[in-house]
Amino acid sequence: LIRSINDPEHPLTLEELNVVEQVRVKVNDAESTVAVEFTPTIPHCSMATLIGLSIKVKLIRSLPERFKLDVRITPGTHASEHAVNKQLADKERVAAALENSHLLEVVNQCLSARS
Amino acid sequence: GVKDGSWTVLQLVEALGSCLENTDPRTRGRGIQLLSQVLLQCYSQLQEKEVLHLVLFYENRLQDHHLVIPSVLQGLQALSMCEVLAPGLTVSVLKAIFQEVHVQSLLQLDRHTVYSIITNFMGTREEELKGLGADFTFGFIQVMDGEKDPRNLLVAFQIVHDLIAKNYALGPFVEELFEVTSCYFPIDFTPPPNDPHGIQREDLILSLRAVLASTPQFAEFLLPLLIEKMDSDLQSAKLDSLRTLTACCAIYGQKELQEFLPSLWSSPLTEVFQTASEKVEAECLAALHALSACLSRSVLSSDSEDLLDSFLSSILQDCRHHLCEPDMKLVWPSAKLLQAAAGASLRAYHCVTHSVLPLLLEQYTKHPQSSQRRTILEMLLGFLELQQKWGHVEEDESTLLSLRASVCSVVFSALTDPSVQLQLVGIRALTVLGSLQGFLSPSDLELVVDHLLRLILHEEDSQSSEAAMEAAGSLAPIYPKVFSGRMVPRLEEELQAEREEESSQDHCSLRQRCLQALAAVSTHTSIVRETVPVLLQHLRKVQKGTDAGSAQDLVSVCQSLHRVALQCQQDAEGCWYYHQAVVPCLLAVAVQAAMQESTQPLLGRALLEEEVLAAMVPVISAATTHLSPELAAQSVSHVVPLFLDGEVSFLPQNSFPCSFQPFEDGECLEAQRRLVALLMAFVCSLPRSVAIPQQERLLRELLALSCSCNCPFTATTAAKCFAGLVNKHPAGQQLDEILQLAVDRMEPGLAEGPRRTQALTLLLWVTKALVLRYHPLSSHLTDKLLGLLSDAELGPAAADGFSLLMAESPDVLHKGCHADVRIMFRQRFFTDNVPKLVQGFHGAGPDVKANYLKGLSHVLNHLPKPVLVTELPTLLSLLLEALSCSDRVVQLSTLSCLQPLLLEAPQIMSLHVDTLVTKFLSLTSSPTMAVRIAALRCAHALTSLPLTVLLPYKARVIRALAKPLDDKKRLVRKEAVAARGEWFLLGSPGR
């Protein structure tokens, strides 16, 4: 699902950039949880939050409501890992980000171009 | 009066005298207007002398009051079309206009009149105008300076283009002329809505481009302008300047370009490196290609430096270092730029490859990761493909030849790489290398074949082994000897080797691959002669074997044979060879199997299974369709007696235990009857000109068989065979008799009895045969079919029959096997029968209504989309009703019919959006998976309707689509995700 999301900075998809990998995606159907860990291209990647947000939005739109989502950065691959994880885990902040039309535009671009 | 000659123009002038000399300019204007109108209608009848007077009069009038001028100009326009205009007058008229009239202060229409006067003169009096010299050009520049109306501009641009193209003297006014036209560049014009003149922006752009690119004299002014506009922020301006540059390069030489080359190069460079738009990139590359082509066209003078060299070296300098970083974004743009420049001429190609190829090869060895290697190899491939453009490798200067060893080793190393992607690129590169004549040395070639063999047989990934087969297929015609000498024997060996140690699964797939590969390389006649015996031998061997999987094996042999047949159809000799080798052999094997069964029940049965026979049908059919009529006649005289009289003498190994009589009665002959399928494949594929011996008898036998046989396979095949023959039967009494006979047998069969289904099958096929050729009886038969729709027992089958009627059948009754198929038979069937279907639907009882809907949706499904769109408004309500029908076949075919319509006719569909949304959403929870998928696809397609119609439903649809996201089936979930994602994007920014 998330493999075809476009990187905001590159003309490639997240899979091609090895940002998301199959081993780092854990799905538990019985308990209805999905955990995704993604690896930013470089430790200081400023787009990490945006990538995380794109993944999260795509999953929200594509998975049944019963699933609980957990999107986080692969431990030890980003400078401000903790802050980004906190942002992504905060439901209200995600919702607020999606109210922002400019952010939504970028996210939608990531999701639409190659679908 | 003037028109029919009873009045002369002079009389008219005299009569109008008082009016023309009136002191009130309005009255004068009306007088002149009348005169001009008269002239416009009858300018062809004027005498030379009259014209002279009129011209003088009009020239005089030009100085008159401004109210009068428009009419005066009209008069002059009429006179300019006169053929008898005296020499010298042209010049004086134009001079008068240039002097007396300030054109740009006139109305649009009158300006247009001036332009058409000039155009008329340019068309007829070229010599005189040229005599005016540069004055004419100057006058015209003054006339058009400041023109704003697009209609006039089109004419004016045409005039300028003619000025340049016909070598009018431009004199010192080149720059002025350029200024007066180039000020419109780049054109920014949006036609007003409901514009009655229909001038498009594109028209203006094209005509201006024609002007600007018409002469090298503009170069020094135009190029700076283009360079400036290329850096513009407007995409349209960029595109337009790049296209103009491309057009200019077609006529410029290096003299014009020299000065501006560095800046001409730098802007495409930055564009290609930065742009996100594919259009701009493509135009940049095209412009670069044109530039480089233009530079390489010009002849070198010995003293000047070679511009091409310096141009290319600057490109190389800018791009080279990017090629060394296969992970970065700029690799591909650089490679594309270089390829565009190199593709322009042989000289440019040599120049570029001389430096790039060694670099790429070196980089390949430097980067060990297969993804990087893949990128590098793909670039290399791009350059190799360019080489193909010039055909053979030239011995003396080609850099490629000197690098042969390293190129080959790189490609071969790619082939042995574990990464499938790299292998695929390697295979493509190999194909290109092979197609370069004389590039590969014989030893290399053997290596190539070995590599391909290894990939075909032992590579685990099916993708690359398929690609290898394809490569083998395209290389085989170029090097037939190597392939037939080296590859075919190896494949044969593999095929025959019985390997006990391996598990049968592996062995089976290996055999499959061998068979496919044998078929794939059979692209040259000489190879076909090697492979066909191998395949046939294998067929016999498998047929004798007794293991359970042999049916599957037989089918794959037949598929391979079919592929070979398709490949050698075009070549008459190969086709005849194939026909002679394969058809008797297949028949013999089949006949033998059918006979054996009567004595030993189990042995050899595999060959008679339906799927095997069905696989043999296309083989025989493909072997027959392309035969020339004489050869086909020769072969038909063997095959038909075989079936009618058991004449087996022409078959190889023709010693059979009992006689072959497929049409005789008898319990034990069931197996023999099945072989009618082979007969069908043969006789139904013959060209129409071939006469079939004993046709009447054959038809009767087939008819009897189709009505009386209990086995559905045999009955259906017999019916198909009968239909195929009837379709080609020449019209006349004989045909009518046969058809009457068929109808007589069908009717009691349909009415009652145990064989109603067989009768229906026969009815369907005969109807199809007749509908295809517009036979008068077809309407009678379709009516009968329509009647059957209300039958409780046969109704559903009859409804399905409509899809059979409309669809293309794979084995008989299509164009490929020479059937008589009229164009538009579907449309005709539609207009004839759909009203009846609709009527029947309304009159039918509730339990059979579904049959009508099913029939209707089958018909619609096969109708060409343009026809359907025009008929849509009347049918849509019925289709929507069909969606609420509970039969899932009806739902499915209606949905698949609606889906393309949603994409193609959104306007009509949007009227019914409410119903559509409701129906689709309720169908997404249908118990059938296929219906759910189709409904979700339709919901996806809904997003192509106009946004304003959809937005009210957005929230509802998104909520409803959440449910199928949790569907049990993966395919359903996939469609749901796609549809829901698209609905989310509706109306949100960033789409």
Residue B36 lies in a domain: yes
Q: Is B282 helix (H, G, I), strand (E, B) or coil?
A: helix
How far from each other are the two terminal CA atoms of chain B, in whole angstroms?
Answer: 68
- When pLDDT is cut at 50, 70 and 90, the band that residue A115 belongs to is very low
- When pLDDT is cut at 50, 70 and 90, the band that residue B702 belongs to is confident
The range of the structural domain enclosing residue A64 comes to 20-111
A76 touching B (Cβ < 8 Å)? no
Query: Per-residue pLDDT tens for B439-455?
Result: 677 777 777 778 777 77
pLDDT, averaged across chain B: 74
CA separation for the pair A51, A13 (Å, rounded): 11
Residue A10 lies in a domain: no
Instruction: Give me the CATH number covering residue B915.
Output: 1.25.10.10
Judge whether B982 and B946 are in contact, CB under 8 Å. no
Closest residue in chain A to residue B328, using alpha carbons only: A10
Residue of B276, B981, B988 with shortest CB distance to A62: B981
Question: What is the reported pLDDT for B401?
Answer: 66
Residues of chain A found within 8 Å of residue B988, distances taken between Cβ atoms: 104-105, 108
Question: What is the reported pLDDT for B610?
Answer: 73
Residue of A10, A11, A111 with shortest CB distance to B981: A111
Does position B807 have pLDDT exceeding 70, yes or no?
yes
Nearest chain A Cα distance for residue B964, angstroms: 8
Final residue of a structural domain among B26, B52, B86: B86
Does position B991 have pLDDT exceeding 50, yes or no?
no
Residues 6+ apart with CB under 8 A from B7: B1
The range of the structural domain enclosing residue B956 comes to 880-990
Optimal mutation site among B277, B966, B972, B975, interface A, most CBs of chain A within 10 A: B966
Single-letter residue type at B255: K
A29 touching B (Cβ < 8 Å)? no
CA separation for the pair B292, B317 (Å, rounded): 16
Residue B970 lies in a domain: yes
Owner of token pair 């190199």: B342
Residue A67 lies in a domain: yes
Per residue, the 3-state secondary structure of A5-24, as one string, reads CECCCCCCECCCCCCCCHHH
Enter the DSSP assignment of B199: -
Residue B69 lies in a domain: yes
Query: Per-residue pLDDT tens for B66-82?
Result: 777 777 777 777 777 77
Does position B689 have pLDDT exceeding 70, yes or no?
yes
Question: What is the reported pLDDT for B70?
Answer: 76
Residues of chain B found within 8 Å of residue A1, distances taken between Cβ atoms: 977
Residue B368 lies in a domain: no
Question: What is the reported pLDDT for B606?
Answer: 59
C-alpha dihedral (B502, B506, B511, B514), degrees to nearest 10: -110
Question: What is the reported pLDDT for A109?
Answer: 66
Residues of chain B found within 8 Å of residue A62, distances taken between Cβ atoms: 965, 977, 980-981
With CB atoms and an 8 Å threshold, state whether B981 touches A58.
Answer: yes
Interval A79-83 mean pLDDT: 73
A9 touching B (Cβ < 8 Å)? no
Question: What is the reported pLDDT for B416?
Answer: 77
Residues of chain B found within 8 Å of residue A66, distances taken between Cβ atoms: 966
Query: Per-residue pLDDT tens for B206-265?
Result: 777 777 777 777 777 777 777 777 777 777 777 777 787 777 777 777 666 677 777 777
Query: Per-residue pLDDT tens for B870-906?
Result: 777 777 777 777 777 777 777 777 777 777 777 777 7
For residues B131 and A12, which has the higher predicted lDDT (pLDDT)? B131
A84 touching B (Cβ < 8 Å)? no
What's the residue count for chain B?
991
Task: Supply the DSSP string of B889-939, one letter for each residue.
Answer: HHHHHHHHHHHHHHHH-HHHHGGGHHHHHHHHHHHTT-SSHHHHHHHHHHH
Residue B922 lies in a domain: yes
Residues of chain A found within 8 Å of residue B962, distances taken between Cβ atoms: 64-65
Region of poorest pLDDT, from B268-272, B481-485, B493-497, B665-669: B665-669
Instruction: Give me the CATH number covering residue A106.
Output: 3.30.300
For residues B533 and B14, which has the higher predicted lDDT (pLDDT)? B533
Question: What is the reported pLDDT for B815?
Answer: 73
CA separation for the pair B748, B296 (Å, rounded): 82
User: How many domains would you assign to chain B?
Assistant: 2
Question: What is the reported pLDDT for B302?
Answer: 46
Q: Which long-range contacts (CB under 8 A, 24 or more apart) does B632-638 make?
A: B632/B686, B632/B687, B632/B690, B633/B690, B633/B691, B635/B579, B635/B580, B635/B583, B636/B682, B636/B683, B636/B686, B636/B690, B636/B692, B636/B693, B637/B693, B638/B584
With CB atoms and an 8 Å threshold, state whether A115 touches B966.
Answer: no
Does position B191 have pLDDT exceeding 70, yes or no?
no
Q: Which residues of B make CB contacts under 8 Å with A?
A: 276, 329, 962-963, 965-966, 977-978, 980-982, 984-985, 988-991
Question: What is the reported pLDDT for B603?
Answer: 45
Final residue of a structural domain among B58, B86, B114: B86
Residues of chain A found within 8 Å of residue B966, distances taken between Cβ atoms: 64, 66
Closest residue in chain B to residue A102, using alpha carbons only: B989
Q: What is the widest separation between alpha-carbon atoms in chain B?
A: 122
What's the residue count for chain A?
115
Residues of chain B found within 8 Å of residue A102, distances taken between Cβ atoms: 989
CA separation for the pair A68, A27 (Å, rounded): 10
Residues 6+ apart with CB under 8 A from B574: B525, B528, B568
Residues 6+ apart with CB under 8 A from B82: B43, B44, B46, B51
Cβ count near B444 (within 10 Å) = 19
Q: In what order do the strands lie in the sheet with A68-73?
A: A25-28, A33-38, A68-73
With CB atoms and an 8 Å threshold, state whether A11 touches B982.
Answer: no
Cβ count near B411 (within 10 Å) = 25
Closest residue in chain B to residue A32, using alpha carbons only: B966
pTM tops 0.90: no
With CB atoms and an 8 Å threshold, state whether A64 touches B965.
Answer: yes
Question: What is the reported pLDDT for B138?
Answer: 78
Residue of B965, B990, B991 with shortest CB distance to A63: B965
With CB atoms and an 8 Å threshold, state whether A64 touches B988.
Answer: no
Does position B658 have pLDDT exceeding 70, yes or no?
no
Closest residue in chain B to residue A66, using alpha carbons only: B966
Q: Which helix (H) or strand (E) holds A27?
A: strand A25-28
Residues B616, B622, B625, B631: is their CA dihedral positive or negative? negative
Residues of chain B found within 8 Å of residue A11, distances taken between Cβ atoms: 276, 329
- When pLDDT is cut at 50, 70 and 90, the band that residue B465 belongs to is confident
For residues B191 and A5, which has the higher predicted lDDT (pLDDT)? B191
Residues 6+ apart with CB under 8 A from B871: B830
Residue of B962, B990, B991 with shortest CB distance to A65: B962
With CB atoms and an 8 Å threshold, state whether B981 touches A115.
Answer: yes
With CB atoms and an 8 Å threshold, state whether A105 touches B989.
Answer: yes
CA separation for the pair B606, B555 (Å, rounded): 10
With CB atoms and an 8 Å threshold, state whether B329 touches A105.
Answer: no
Single-letter residue type at A35: A
Judge whether B208 and B184 are in contact, CB under 8 Å. yes
Beta bridge partners of A26: A35
Query: Per-residue pLDDT tens for B331-381?
Result: 777 777 777 777 777 777 777 777 777 777 787 778 777 777 777 777 777
Residue A1 lies in a domain: no
Does position B557 have pLDDT exceeding 60, yes or no?
yes
Please list, residue by residue across A55-78, b when 16 or more beta carbons sit within 10 angstroms of its beta carbon and e when fewer do. Answer: bbbbbebbbeeebebbbbbbeebb
Judge whether B476 and B483 are in contact, CB under 8 Å. yes
Closest CA to B973 of B957, B961, B955, B982: B961
Judge whether B883 and B895 are in contact, CB under 8 Å. yes
Residues of chain B found within 8 Å of residue A5, distances taken between Cβ atoms: none
Question: What is the reported pLDDT for B600?
Answer: 47
- When pLDDT is cut at 50, 70 and 90, the band that residue B303 belongs to is very low
A106 touching B (Cβ < 8 Å)? yes
Interval B145-162 mean pLDDT: 78
Residue B940 lies in a domain: yes
Which tokens go with B291? 């530039």
Does position B601 have pLDDT exceeding 50, yes or no?
no
With CB atoms and an 8 Å threshold, state whether A108 touches B977.
Answer: no
Q: Which helix (H) or strand (E) holds B477?
A: none
Nearest chain B Cα distance for residue A99, angstroms: 11
Q: How many CB pairs under 8 A join A and B?
A: 44
Residues of chain A found within 8 Å of residue B276, distances taken between Cβ atoms: 11
Query: Per-residue pLDDT tens for B394-421?
Result: 544 556 667 777 777 777 777 777 777 7
Does position B936 have pLDDT exceeding 80, yes or no?
yes
Residue B929 lies in a domain: yes
Residue B986 lies in a domain: yes
Residues of chain B found within 8 Å of residue A13, distances taken between Cβ atoms: none
Closest residue in chain B to residue A105, using alpha carbons only: B990
Interval B372-394 mean pLDDT: 70
Single-letter residue type at B747: E
Q: Which helix (H) or strand (E) holds B982?
A: helix B970-985
Interval B717-727 mean pLDDT: 80
pLDDT more than 70, % of chain B: 84
Q: Report how far apart, in Å, the C-alpha atoms of B279 and of each of A23, B209, B215 are.
A: 38, 18, 27
Residues 6+ apart with CB under 8 A from B644: B663, B694, B697, B698, B701
Mark which residues 38-67 of A lie under 8 Å from B by CB: 58, 61-66
Question: What is the reported pLDDT for A15?
Answer: 61
Final residue of a structural domain among B86, B110, B139: B86
Closest CA to B617 of B662, B587, B654, B576: B587
Residues of chain B found within 8 Å of residue A112, distances taken between Cβ atoms: 985, 990-991
Q: Report how far apart, in Å, the C-alpha atoms of B830 and of each of B566, B826, B859, B862, B893 are.
A: 34, 6, 7, 10, 17
Judge whether B299 and B307 are in contact, CB under 8 Å. no
With CB atoms and an 8 Å threshold, state whether A64 touches B962.
Answer: yes
Residues of chain B found within 8 Å of residue A9, distances taken between Cβ atoms: none
Residue A37 lies in a domain: yes
Single-letter residue type at B324: C
Per residue, the 3-state secondary structure of B321-362, as one string, reads HHHCCCCCCCHHHHHHHHHHHHCCCHHHHHHHHHHHHHHHHH
User: How many domains would you assign to chain A?
Assistant: 1
For residues B988 and B749, which has the higher predicted lDDT (pLDDT)? B749
For residues B275 and B952, which has the higher predicted lDDT (pLDDT)? B952
With CB atoms and an 8 Å threshold, state whether B985 touches A108.
Answer: yes
Residues of chain A found within 8 Å of residue B372, distances taken between Cβ atoms: none
Optimal mutation site among A61, A65, A103, A105, interface B, most CBs of chain B within 10 A: A61
